[in-house]
Structure 1
Amino acid sequence: MKKQAPTSLRDALAFVASYVEAPLPPVRLALSAAFGHVLAEDIAAPVSLPRFDNAAMDGFAIRSEDIPPVGPASLKIAQTITAGRTAVHELQPGEAARIMTGAPLPPGADRVVVQEAAEIVGDAVFLNPQAGAKPHIRRVGEDVSRGALVLEAGTRIGPGQLALLTALGLRSVLVAPQPKVALLSTGDELLQSPGSLEAGQIYDTNRPMLSRMLQDAGAEVTDLGIAADDPETILKRLVDAAGNHDLLISSGGASVGFADHLTRIVSRRGYLEFWKLAMRPGKPIGFGDIDDCPMLLLPGNPLAAAAGFALMGRAIIARLEGRPAERPAWRLPAASPLSKRPGETRIFLGRLRSDPGRPTMVDPLPYEGSASLRTLALAEVMILLHPDEVEIGEGDLVEILSI
């Protein structure tokens, strides 16, 4: 007996998780080329950070026993230590070393007195440190201990992660390759912007939007352009791309109109696993394959396409990268009531509201239809209501998705 195709978002996500059986094989990349990729290995620190004791402030490195409990002290300035200097002499009794932030601490020193509490007179410095002041020293391993797990497999390498890996001296890392995604828009009415529109034509807004969302999700995007409502043209572009891509995404041409060929095209060179989900906007979402390459069919209306990718597309990309497909739990109180029909997933657009003295809330925007570009441009987040969430009161927690 044929298994029933999923109709709910939850079942569709579970199907996608089982369909993409294994992530793409990992590759080793030079650290300089790994930005934006997802780690395919745990990273243990090969060295400690800091690598050596160093000054946390500009000032004077001293021995604490040379400072009396009360009153100022006069010490001889024996050396000046700048960041990057390697020749550092041991500090003797009665000596101070003028030191810059990040410079190595001289042996014997256990404290840095900030320069604001010092006065230089000739080759001596008069120090008047505040009682209980910090030592202003960064000790070896204070940030990272050698051998410690610092980044786990599945972590995306962003600016902060790149800085840490660079500081550890790593030359290369094992990462998941960025999934290669081919993106196609369909429709006789679509025209590349800018251009001269004829009567009945509109600019294609979905490809620029979806391309950026894909890149943000970690994908490498191939733009297949716009295909007219001709089955053979659409099929050829998709078949040509299927052999060297990990995912095909189309927008438009998947509803029940007479020119909607995509669902039939997929069935000619593959299998349409499901089509139409109980969600709004985004009901005409489909998933299948062409020549064994997974394919996600998104609606043509911009909000429906954005919602479909945020919920389904990101989950597929995550599976290909070997990351959990589950969305991070991000919930905020609603600033105003919401309602919907039971049994369906509903997406609203919203803006974040931070009123003085109150926690951050999400303010739903009026629903102007799934083709409203103005509403999409005003939105900061998507609000996701699950099938069992029918009436949402002011202050009730709702799930939030980034756009």
Structure 2
Amino acid sequence: MPILSLKDAQQLIVSQCSALSTETVSLPEACDRIAGQAIKAIHAVPAFARSAMDGYAVNSRDLTGGAEPVSLKITGEIAAGTTDLPRLTRKSAIAIMTGGALPPGANQVVPFERCERKGSLVLVHSPPRPGAFIRARGTDLAAKQTIVRAGAKIEPQHLPLLAESGLAQVSVVARPELAIICTGSELLDTLDTPETGQIIGGNRFLLAALLRAGGATSRDFGLVADDCDRIVALLREALDGPSQGVITTGGMGPGNYDLLPQAFATLGIRPLYTALAVRPGRSTMFGLYRGKPIFALPGPPPAVFLLFHELVLPALRTMQRQHRPLPPLVRATLATPILLKKTGILNLKGAVASLSGKHLSVRPCRKNEAANAIIHLPPNRKHLLSGEDVSLRFCNPAFL
């Protein structure tokens, strides 16, 4: 089987993943979900003209605009939420609070700061222009205007508009669920005490967190020793369950105990690739079982992190009907030099990117530092200098 490039593998994965169905959720459940269709306002927002300041509702015809203040009779008061609105008559003013509905006959609001109250009269100084300090009907949204486009994430700032426009529930794409299986006889649970040669298995927690950040849920099938029968049994259980796919870690090298290829064969899974021209990731597989994608990743957590973003995340975004399954590569300036141990294939490195004005710079992660980007280093370069331009992909597409 030919060794695929990373780009070809990504295109293959996206082509093999299907969009999930939609479901209806209430607004408290809608944040961070993906809109299953364009979400449009039922009503205009605001639904009525309202005051943007505490002041007096007046009509500009009663304000002469001369040097002398205009005296108007105060005939009422409107608080936010008042529904029985008095009509504004000639040469009068109605006190109005921020958010209060503009009364019939008024066409502007004069803030308290520009007025002087004397008993039942108000003297208006420096009257503003007609229409001032009013939020007109439909200023924020017209009826049937799109609030969230199909395939976009529903953000917290969308929720007030959704609510005010008359929507109590919305259509979203179902969350994908992927099963997690971590292989390796050396792996122990967090409650165990490792002896020499044993380690605590952390990939299950890493993958669960990455899936959650990618809008998906996970089903943890735990740790399994390097025993083909046990691996096959756990894979079969995961694949026959409700999850839309499976991610495994470990068991992907050329060693005697790297059993994932054998487990695939036992289950009748034909891999669509068995190696990629990328480091890390040369030893990785992708296959389908009754239409469900299976990602077999190597064991080291740094490799799992990088390959999740490059291989698994495009699948999740495709399942959730997002328009760009893979965030684009962008150019950035190296802030520090890079010396590679091996060349010949594409190298991926976890990195920290930062934006200063319009200048995007990037550097490799320091030990135990969280990455927000992945640098794509060309196969024909061993030494890259500070100040050179490199390609990177953000781990969080919202950064763009």
Same fold flag (TM > 0.5) = yes
Partner in structure 2 of residue 258 of structure 1? 256
Partner in structure 1 of residue 345 of structure 2? 344
The 8 Å contact of residues 352 and 360 in structure 1, kept in 2 or not, is answered as no
Cα distance, 1:148 vs structure 2: 2.3
Supply the distance in 1 between the matched residues of 2:90 and 2:130 (Cα, whole angstroms). 21
After alignment, is 298-307 or 286-295 more displaced?
286-295
Cα distance, 1:173 vs structure 2: 2.6
Partner in structure 1 of residue 230 of structure 2? 233
- Residue identity in the other structure for 1:347: L
Q: 1:313 to 1:113 in 2, by over 3 A?
A: same
Cα distance, 1:211 vs structure 2: 0.9
Deviations 1:45-98 (A, max 9, x none): 222111111112222222122233234333222222122111111211222222
- Percent sequence identity over aligned pairs: 30
After alignment, is 209-218 or 115-124 more displaced?
115-124
Partner in structure 2 of residue 319 of structure 1? 318
Cα distance, 1:311 vs structure 2: 0.7
The 8 Å contact of residues 303 and 376 in structure 1, kept in 2 or not, is answered as no
Cα distance, 1:393 vs structure 2: 6.0
- Residue identity in the other structure for 1:120: R
Aligned Cα RMSD in Å?
A: 2.7
Matching of residue 400 in structure 1 with residue 399 in structure 2: no
Q: 1:125 to 1:363 in 2, by over 3 A?
A: same
Supply the distance in 1 between the matched residues of 2:122 and 2:185 (Cα, whole angstroms). 81
Deviations 1:191-222 (A, max 9, x none): 22254222222222222121111111111211
Supply the distance in 2 between the matched residues of 1:274 and 1:73 (Cα, whole angstroms). 82
Matching of residue 57 in structure 1 with residue 38 in structure 2: no
After alignment, is 61-70 or 51-60 more displaced?
61-70
The 8 Å contact of residues 272 and 286 in structure 2, kept in 1 or not, is answered as yes
Supply the distance in 2 between the matched residues of 1:251 and 1:398 (Cα, whole angstroms). 27
Q: Specify every segment of 5 or more residues in structure 2 that has no aligned partner in the other structure, as ranges.
A: none
Q: 1:29 to 1:106 in 2, by over 3 A?
A: same
After alignment, is 116-125 or 269-278 more displaced?
116-125
Supply the distance in 2 between the matched residues of 1:85 and 1:6 (Cα, whole angstroms). 70
The 8 Å contact of residues 108 and 130 in structure 2, kept in 1 or not, is answered as no
Q: 1:251 to 1:111 in 2, by over 3 A?
A: same
- Residue identity in the other structure for 1:383: I
Partner in structure 2 of residue 40 of structure 1? 36
Supply the distance in 1 between the matched residues of 2:385 and 2:58 (Cα, whole angstroms). 63
- Is the partner of 2:43 in helix, strand or coil? coil
2:141 to 140, 144, 158: 144
Partner in structure 1 of residue 376 of structure 2? 384
Deviations 1:338-387 (A, max 9, x none): 576776332223223455xx544333126xxxxxxx63534333223455
Supply the distance in 2 between the matched residues of 1:129 and 1:254 (Cα, whole angstroms). 78
Correspondence 1:141-220 to 2 at 5 A: 141-220=138-217
Partner in structure 2 of residue 289 of structure 1? 288
Deviations 1:243-292 (A, max 9, x none): 21101011122122221111211121122221221112233221113454
| Superposition TM-score, scaled by structure 2 size | 0.88
- Is the partner of 1:80 in helix, strand or coil? strand
Supply the distance in 2 between the matched residues of 1:259 and 1:62 (Cα, whole angstroms). 83
Matching of residue 16 in structure 1 with residue 13 in structure 2: yes
1:246 to 238, 244, 247: 244
Supply the distance in 2 between the matched residues of 1:136 and 1:176 (Cα, whole angstroms). 40
Cα distance, 1:316 vs structure 2: 0.7
- Residue identity in the other structure for 1:191: L
Supply the distance in 1 between the matched residues of 2:21 and 2:368 (Cα, whole angstroms). 36
Partner in structure 1 of residue 24 of structure 2? 28
- Is the partner of 2:158 in helix, strand or coil? helix
- Residue identity in the other structure for 1:382: I
| Superposition TM-score, scaled by structure 1 size | 0.87
Partner in structure 2 of residue 90 of structure 1? 87
- Is the partner of 2:57 in helix, strand or coil? strand
After alignment, is 298-307 or 279-288 more displaced?
279-288
- Is the partner of 1:265 in helix, strand or coil? helix
- Residue identity in the other structure for 1:43: I
Supply the distance in 2 between the matched residues of 1:92 and 1:343 (Cα, whole angstroms). 83
Partner in structure 2 of residue 76 of structure 1? 73
Q: 1:353 to 1:220 in 2, by over 3 A?
A: closer
The 8 Å contact of residues 26 and 175 in structure 1, kept in 2 or not, is answered as yes
- Is the partner of 2:95 in helix, strand or coil? strand
The 8 Å contact of residues 266 and 290 in structure 1, kept in 2 or not, is answered as no
Q: 1:62 to 1:194 in 2, by over 3 A?
A: farther
Deviations 1:130-153 (A, max 9, x none): 766981111111111112233221
- Is the partner of 1:266 in helix, strand or coil? helix
Supply the distance in 2 between the matched residues of 1:99 and 1:384 (Cα, whole angstroms). 59
- Residue identity in the other structure for 2:54: D
After alignment, is 130-139 or 60-69 more displaced?
130-139
Partner in structure 2 of residue 363 of structure 1? 362
Q: How many residues align?
A: 390
Supply the distance in 2 between the matched residues of 1:118 and 1:339 (Cα, whole angstroms). 70
Q: 1:207 to 1:130 in 2, by over 3 A?
A: farther
Q: Specify every segment of 5 or more residues in structure 1 that has no aligned partner in the other structure, as ranges.
A: 367-373
Partner in structure 1 of residue 62 of structure 2? 66
Supply the distance in 1 between the matched residues of 2:58 and 2:137 (Cα, whole angstroms). 18
After alignment, is 104-113 or 132-141 more displaced?
132-141
